[in-house]
Amino acid sequence: MIFYSTNKQSTPASLKKATLEGLASDGGLYVPSAIPRFSEEEIQLLSDAPFNDIAFAIAKKFNDGEIPDNHLGEIVEKCFTFTTPLVGLETGTYIEELFNGPTLAFKDYGARFLAHLTGYFAEEDHKLITILVATSGDTGSAVAYGFKGVPNTRVILLYPSGKVSRLQEQQLTTVGGNVTALEVDGDFDDCQRLVKQAFMDAELKQNLALTSANSINISRLIPQTFYYAWGSLQLVERYPGKKAVFSVPSGNYGNLTGGVLAKKMGFPIKHFIAGSNANDSVTRYLEEGRYEPLPTVATLSSAMDVGNPSNFARLRHFYRDDHHAMAADISGYSVSDSETLDTIRKVYDRFGYIMDPHTAVGFRALEKFRETNSESNGPAAVLSTAHPAKFTESIKEALNMNITLPDRLQEVLDKQKISVPMSADYRDLSSFLSKL
């Protein structure tokens, strides 16, 4: 398959080139030349298939023969060794738990697939690949654990100092080995800007084989379609004749973009709800048709604190920059911190279910959607993007209770943090990378 840049100024790329470059040379994001389609017959054959069979079927369409099927199958089996539960709260309302991977966050799906794909291509070319990543929380740890020990790779993580939870920081600063964490004096948008500047630095790229593991990388995005396909088929089986609605906690909009891809591939998805926090640039666009990004605001749902989301460029491309077409598929709702805490309390009181702040944003956004769309009676799933134990402070504030940490998180807390302080000035990052 051929991939093009959203800026339309760079040379078309194969999956391998798009994966190893991360960002196109013109600064755009890679998108498939044509979104692969599944026929009704193919969808029917996958209707009761295991998760990994669905993942392989989708990956094969995008791979288009670049990696032999047997190796691609092995990659899928290595990546997805954990379950994707669909938990029913009440009739028609589900939580799709995406936090059962190694770092207890949904980013494990994309990061592990990308890591194994990058490792395969790096070994094929006998070169050392440097993965440069900006993180607002869970991406960093997922990438760190995904690439840990993968031959011919090293990872440089940039995270905003003081703007991720303690558990998130411990996860991404204690991996060691081929992973280095840079603690940036700024916010996530600064981290993302620094990464983009590095990819546009021709002199730096002459000396380093750079790629990204953020959702700007198309091979981080492709596996995010897997759980939408799986979830939609599960819901259709439970509610024959009805298509699924997904409510998505949204920050950099890679997660939602993966869903849009799954819908356009033919999976039975009716509509999306984009739940944002105070960083509501896309929400306002969906309402008004004007995109006016604002500076990032810190919130309880910190992984969604993105003022100018990168993947919005892909969304605009997939909808041909047609606001009405995008708004027909996606409804956006902003959820405040007070609403987030209130939702955690109400969901626990009603269902005995504990959700993290990001999932709470998605749940409240679904409620708002239903308040104004009474005719929408199809099954809906809220994507739960992180284990609540990763946000103990918010759970304590909302429920006045301490949540038990899973063993793997407690082990991380007991380790010593190792990070490199970094300013938000690109010259400092350039100097650091040039010395690698």
In 3D space, the residue among 275, 190, 271, 262 whose CA is nearest the CA of residue 228 turns out to be 262
Euclidean distance between CA atoms 369 and 357, whole angstroms: 18
Q: How would you list the strands of the sheet with 210-212, edge to edge?
A: 210-212, 129-134, 153-160, 179-184, 420-422
DSSP 128: P
**β-strands 30-32, 3-5: how paired?**
antiparallel
Q: Is the dihedral of CA 205, 14, 115, 149 positive or negative?
A: negative
In 3D space, the residue among 177, 362, 193, 409 whose CA is nearest the CA of residue 293 turns out to be 193
Instruction: Return phi, psi of residue 300, to 5°.
Output: -65, -30
Kindly give, in sequence order, each residue whose CB lies less than 8 Å from that of residue 143, ignoring residues fewer than 6 positions away.
107, 111, 114, 115, 131, 133, 135, 155, 157, 213
Helices (H), 239-385: 254-265, 281-288, 312-318, 323-329, 337-351, 357-372
- Note if 127 is an active site residue: no
CB 240 within 8 A of CB 16: no
Buried b (16+ CB within 10 A) or exposed e, 272-282: bbbbbbbbbbb
Residue 303 sits at the vertex; the CA angle it makes with 301 and 309, to the nearest 5 degrees, is 115
Report the 10 Å Cβ neighbour count for 10: 17
Instruction: Return phi, psi of residue 387, to 5°.
Output: -65, 135
In 3D space, the residue among 418, 423, 436 whose CA is nearest the CA of residue 169 turns out to be 418
DSSP 404: P
- Choose the catalytic residue: 107, 163, 196, 263: 107
Euclidean distance between CA atoms 204 and 60, whole angstroms: 34
In 3D space, the residue among 55, 109, 57, 49 whose CA is nearest the CA of residue 383 turns out to be 109
Known catalytic residues? 107
